[in-house]
């Protein structure tokens, strides 16, 4: 790698090659961000396997929609994705098939890697958005000092009376 990055300009079409490398680095970074979001969400919940909640409306949808995945399925998928690591779809599929929670759930046992990957990716985006919204609300609350009342004038400043 050291020699490559030292002499890469000697390669024909090196710009295209560098764009591909940068795109790959962006995908790796995105995977790490989603994995960190899942781990943070699961760590914040004392008994995640039974009490983890996901805000399905945070991406602007109308809730769960008509998905065949149940709330328990989603909760367990988030926990398993955190355990296996985001992007480890083959391992995730194996865990789903051997999990005692899905012992008689043939719908979950028969999901392919691609189907599980799509669902976990969707759930990871929901979790990421939920965490971002919570962080923004905390920043706003921190910015607003205790005891200060905005009085309905929009900025917290007192109106000058004439």
pLDDT digits (tens, 9 = 90+) for 87-117: 899 999 999 999 888 889 899 999 999 999 9
What are the structure tokens assigned to 138, written together? Answer: 């905390």
Q: What angle do CA 109, 112, 115 make, to 5 degrees?
A: 110
CB 116 within 8 A of CB 88: no
pLDDT digit string, tens, across residues 52-64: 888 888 766 666 7
Determine the length of the chain.
Answer: 162
């Amino acid at each position: 790698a050291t020699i490559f990055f030292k002499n890469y300009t000697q390669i024909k079409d090196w710009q295209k090659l560098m764009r591909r490398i940068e795109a790959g680095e962006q995908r790796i970074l995105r995977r790490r961000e989603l994995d960190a979001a899942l781990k943070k969400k699961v760590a914040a919940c004392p008994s995640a396997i039974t009490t983890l909640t996901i805000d399905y409306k945070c991406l602007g949808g109308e809730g769960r929609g008509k998905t065949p995945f149940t709330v328990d399925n989603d909760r367990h998928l988030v926990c398993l994705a955190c355990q296996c690591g985001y992007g480890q779809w083959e391992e995730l599929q194996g865990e789903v098939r051997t999990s005692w929670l899905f012992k008689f759930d043939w719908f979950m046992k028969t999901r392919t890697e691609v189907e599980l990957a799509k669902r976990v990716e969707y759930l990871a985006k929901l979790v990421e958005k939920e965490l971002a919204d919570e962080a923004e609300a905390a920043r706003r609350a921190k910015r607003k000092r205790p005891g200060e009342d905005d009085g309905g004038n929009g900025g917290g400043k007192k109106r000058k009376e004439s």
